[in-house]
Amino acid sequence: MNVIEVQGLHKSYAETKAVDGIDLTISQGEIFALLGPNGAGKTTTVEILEGFRKADSGSISVLGFDPSQRGVQSRIWRNRIGIVLQSTADAGDLTVQETLSHFAKYYSAPRDVDEVITSVGLDEKRGALIRTLSGGQRRRLDVGLGIIGSPELLFLDEPTTGFDPEARRAFWALIESLRKGGTTILLTTHYLDEAEALADRVAVITRGKILEVSTPTQLGGRASAKARIQWKSDGVIHEELSDNPTEVVRRLASQFPGEIPELQVVRPSLEDIYLSMIGEK
Q: Which pLDDT tens digit goes with each residue over 49-69?
A: 999 999 999 999 999 999 988
pLDDT score at 89: 63
pLDDT score at 280: 63
Q: How many CA atoms lie within 13 A of 278 on its CB side?
A: 20
pLDDT score at 71: 84
Q: Could you tell me if 32 and 194 are in contact, meaning their C-beta atoms sit under 8 angstroms apart?
A: no
Low-confidence ranges of the chain (pLDDT < 50): none
Sign of the Cα pseudo-torsion (120, 124, 127, 130, in order): negative
pLDDT score at 81: 94
- Nearest CA to 91 among 82, 100, 83? 100
pLDDT score at 148: 93
CATH number of this structure's domain 2-220 = 3.40.50.300
pLDDT score at 87: 66
Taking the domains of the chain in order of start, what are their residue ranges? 2-220, 226-268
Angstrom distance (rounded) from CA 92 to CA 31: 32
Helix, strand, or coil (residue 135) = helix
**pTM of the predicted model as reported, rounded to 2 decimal places:** 0.84
The size of the chain, in residues, is: 281
